[in-house]
Amino acid sequence: MKSKVKKTEIDKSELIDAFAEFKDSKNIDKATVVRVQEDVFRAMLKKEYGSDENFNIIVNPDNGELEIWQNYMVVADEDIYSTATEMEYSDAIKHVDDCEIGEEIAVKVDLGQFKRRAIYNARQTLNSRSLELKNADLFRKYKEMVGEVIVGEVYQIWKKEMMILHEGNELSLPRANMIGADFFKKGDSIRAVIEKVEMNNAVPKITLSRTAPIFLERLLEREVPEIMDGVIAIKKIVRLPGERAKVAVESYDDRVDPVGACVGMKGSRIHSIVRELRNENIDVVNFTTNTTLYISRALNPAKITSVKLDEVAKRAAVFLKPDQVAMAIGKGGQNIKLAGELTGYTVDVFRDGEEINEEDDVDLEEFSDEIDSWIIDELKKTGCDTARSVLALSDDELVRRTELEEETIREIKQILLAEFEG
pLDDT over 70 for what percent of the chain? 86
C-alpha pair distances (Å), 247 with each of 1, 15, 144? 80, 58, 26
Every domain of the chain and the residues it spans: 7-140, 148-211, 215-287
Q: How far apart are CA 259 and CA 251, in angstroms?
A: 9
Q: State which fold the 7-140 domain adopts.
A: N Utilization Substance Protein A; Chain:P; domain 4 (3.30.1480)
Check if 7-140 and 148-211 are the same fold: no
- CATH number given to 215-287: 3.30.300.20
Q: With DSSP H G I counted as helix, E B as strand and the rest as coil, what are the percentages for the chain, rounded to 5?
A: 45, 25, 30
**Could you report the per-residue pLDDT of 30-88, keeping only the tens digit for each?**
667 677 777 777 877 777 777 778 888 887 766 657 788 888 898 998 888 777 788 88
Cβ distance 185 to 156 under 8 Å? no
Contacts of 186 (CB under 8 A, 6+ apart): 154, 155, 156, 157
How does residue 201 score in pLDDT terms, banded at 50, 70 and 90? confident
Q: Report strand pairing: 304-310 vs 315-320.
A: antiparallel
* CA 42/CA 38 separation, integer angstroms: 6
Q: Give yes or no for a contact between 394 and 326, defined as CB atoms under 8 angstroms apart.
A: no
pLDDT-derived band at 141 (thresholds 50, 70, 90) equals very high
| pLDDT category of residue 352 using cuts at 50, 70 and 90 | confident
Give per-residue burial for 154-165: e unless 16+ CB within 10 Å, then b.
beeeeeebbbbe
Superfamily of domain 148-211: Nucleic acid-binding proteins (2.40.50.140)
Residue 83: φ, ψ to 5°: -70, -15
Q: Confidence class of residue 357 from pLDDT cuts 50, 70 and 90?
A: low
- Distance, in Å, from the CA atom of 326 to the CA atom of 384, rounded to the nearest integer, reads 12
What is the model's pTM? 0.68
DSSP letter (8 states) at residue 251: E
* Phi, psi of 193, deg, nearest 5: -100, 145
Name, in order, each residue with C-beta under 8 angstroms of 251's C-beta and a sequence gap of 6 or more: 226, 231, 232, 233, 257, 258, 261
Work out the end-to-end distance of the chain between its first and last CA atoms, rounded to an integer number of angstroms.
109
Identify which of 131, 129, 168, 159 has the alpha carbon closest to the alpha carbon of residue 43.
129
pLDDT in tens, 306-333: 998 988 889 898 998 888 888 888 888 8
- Tell me if 26 sits within 8 A of 33, measured CB to CB: no
Statement: residue 147 has pLDDT above 70: yes
Banded model confidence at residue 16, pLDDT cuts 50, 70, 90 = low
Answer positive or negative: Cα dihedral of 11, 14, 20, 23: negative
